[in-house]
Chain A
Amino acid sequence: MTWTELPLVDGISNFCLVGGMVFWFWGTTQLLTRRSVLFKLHGLSVSDTLGSLAIVFGLLLKIPNEWPLLILAMICLAVWNTMLGYVLAYCSTSGDQP
């Protein structure tokens, strides 16, 4: 019996997966409201990044033999999604609609 089959680790992993899903739905439903772009961008980038990180972390606990890939995915998410949020905010405020 390896450590990934312990009930505690399995519970944490499931919790992370479900929590990430909840984060996703919370951020995506903000897209349906009639708020400004920047407000939606804030909610969406936070929920997408955190939710995806939680999901990938849950997968990492479940199946640890793909750890290099999953950690790479986590780093990519954390860096590039944040960067994309800044770039989108910068572009959407200074430019007009074509």
Chain B
Amino acid sequence: MTNAILITAILALLIPIYKACTEEDIWQKMLALSSVSSKVSIAILLVSVQRDDWSIGVVAVIVLSVGNAGLMLLANVLKRMGEA
């Protein structure tokens, strides 16, 4: 069951990756990146639960919060770029 969910999660991951590749607007790209980031961390969490491995689960949670923080930083830097 977990394996099937994992495959489905990877399929869902392909959509924002494709969109980030084709999209020209920078904010649409950022949107796709945020989607990829949260989906990847949930996929890592699925793997950690599947294997009952604590350290991978910790990594998943850290990737979840750090990815979000990095996106916020990048968004602010890009916004300054647009103003200047």
Chain A residues within an 8 Å CB radius of B48: 66, 69
**Closest partner residue, chain B, to A92 (CB atom):** B27
Does more than half of chain B's interface fall in helix, strand or loop, or is it mixed? helix
Q: What band does the interface of chain B fall in when counting residues whose beta carbon is under 8 Å from A?
A: 35 or more
The 8 closest A-B pairs by CB, nearest first: A95-B82, A95-B79, A96-B82, A80-B68, A91-B79, A98-B81, A92-B27, A91-B75
Question: What residues of chain B have their CB less than 8 Å away from a CB belonging to chain A?
Answer: 1-2, 5, 8-9, 12, 15-16, 19, 25-28, 30-32, 34-35, 38-39, 42, 45-46, 48-49, 52, 54, 57-58, 60-61, 64-65, 68-69, 71-72, 75-76, 78-83
